[in-house]
Amino acid sequence: MGAIAKAKEILAEGVKVFLQTSSKTLVTVHASGSRVRSQAVKVLKGLANKYKTFGLIELSSRAQSDPFGKIRGLIESMIGKLEKEAAEEADQKSFCDEEISESKAKQAKLQGGLDQQAARIAKAEANKAKLLEDIKLLEEQVAEIDAAQAAATKVRGEEHDDYLKASSDFKDSAEAVAKAVEVLNEYYTSASFVQVKQAPELGGAQTDIGSTITSMLEAAEEDFAKLLAETEAAEAAALNAFEKLSQDNKVSKTTKQGDVKGKTAEVKQIEVALSNYKEDDATLSDELSAVLTYLDKLKPQCETKVMSYAERKARREEEISGLKEALAILSEESFVQVSTSLRGTRRA
C-alpha cells in the first residue's frame, strides 16, 4: 500500500509537471508560429511590393491566414512554375541566339556575295561600254577610210582623164610638128635646089629661112615629147601613190574590221557573263530577303521590349530565392511543431 501510494504520488506529480510543460510548449509553439508566419509574410510582401505580380500579392495575403501546409504547397507550386518558365525561356533564348547568329552569319555571307556580284556587274558593264565605244570609233574610222578611198578614187579618175587628154594632145602635137618638119624639109630641100639653079644670089637666104623654121618646129616637137614624158611620169607617180594609198587603206580597213569583229565577240561574252551575274544576283537577293524575313519573324519571340533576358533571369532568380526563403521559414516552423509533438508524445 505504501509503495502504491508512493507511486501514485510520483505519478500525480509527474502528470502535473507534464501538463504544465505541455501547456508551456503549446504556448511556445504558438508564439513561434506567429513569429515564423510574420517572417514568411514579410518576405512574400517584400517580393510582391517589388515585382507587383498578382501571384505574389495573392500569396503574401493568403500567408497571413491560410494554414502553413497550404501556404507551403502554394509556394512550392509557384517555385515550380517559375523554374519551369526559367527553363523554357533558357531554351527559347538558346534557340533565338542560335537562329539569330546563324541567320546573321548567312545575311553577312549573302550580303558579301551581293557586293561581289555588284562589283562584277559594274566592271562588266564598264568593260562593255568601253568596247562599244571602241567599236563605234573603229566603225567611224572604217567609214572615214571608205570616204577617203572614194575621194582618192575620184581624184585618180580625174587625174587619169586629164592625163589621157594631155598625153593625146602632146602626142598629136608632136606628130603634127614632125609631119610639118618633114613637109618643110622636103619643100625647102627641093625648092632650094631649083632656085639655086635659077637665081643663085637668092638661094642662100631662102635656105636659111627654111632651116630656121625647121629648127623651131623640131624644138617644138622636142618640147611636146618632153611634156608627154613628164605627163606620163606624173601619171605613173600618181598611179603608184594611188595604189599604195589604196593598199594602205585596205590593210587598215581590214585590221579595223578585224578589231570590230573581235570586240563584238567580247561584247557578246560579257553580255553572257552579265546575264549570269544578274541571275546570281537575283538568287542571292531572294535568299537575303528570305533571311531578313526570317529575322523579322524572330523579333517578336526573341527581342524584348521592356526587359532583357538577363534582367528577367535575375528577377526570376530573386523571386525563386525569396520564395525558397519563405519556404525555409515555414519548414523551420513545421520542424518545431513536429519536434514538439514528438517530445510530448514521448513524455506521455
Q: Is 66 helix (H, G, I), strand (E, B) or coil?
A: coil
Assigned domain for 92 exists: no
Assigned domain for 219 exists: yes
- The predicted structure's pLDDT at residue 34: 67
> What is the value of pTM for the model shown?
0.54
Q: Which set of grid coordinates corresponds to residue 62?
A: 493568403
Assigned domain for 75 exists: no
Could you report the average pLDDT of every consecutive run of 10 residues in the chain (348 residues)? 42 42 44 65 73 68 65 75 77 85 94 95 96 97 96 95 93 90 79 50 59 85 91 95 96 96 97 96 95 90 65 75 74 52 48
**Domain limits for position 229:** 115-303
pLDDT digits (tens, 9 = 90+) for 42-95: 777 777 777 667 666 766 666 666 666 676 677 777 778 877 877 777 777 888
Assigned domain for 20 exists: no
- The predicted structure's pLDDT at residue 1: 37
- DSSP letter (8 states) at residue 52: -
- The predicted structure's pLDDT at residue 302: 82
**What's the helix, strand, coil split of the chain in %, to 5?**
95, 0, 5
- The predicted structure's pLDDT at residue 22: 44
Q: What is the CATH number of the domain that holds 284?
A: 1.10.287.2610
- The predicted structure's pLDDT at residue 199: 47
Assigned domain for 81 exists: no
Assigned domain for 67 exists: no
Picking from 250, 262, 288, 282, the residue whose alpha carbon sits closest to that of residue 107 is 288
Alpha helices in the chain, H assignment, sequence order: 2-51, 54-62, 68-198, 200-302, 309-347
Assigned domain for 13 exists: no
pLDDT digits (tens, 9 = 90+) for 74-87: 777 777 887 787 77
Assigned domain for 38 exists: no
Q: Domain count of the chain?
A: 1
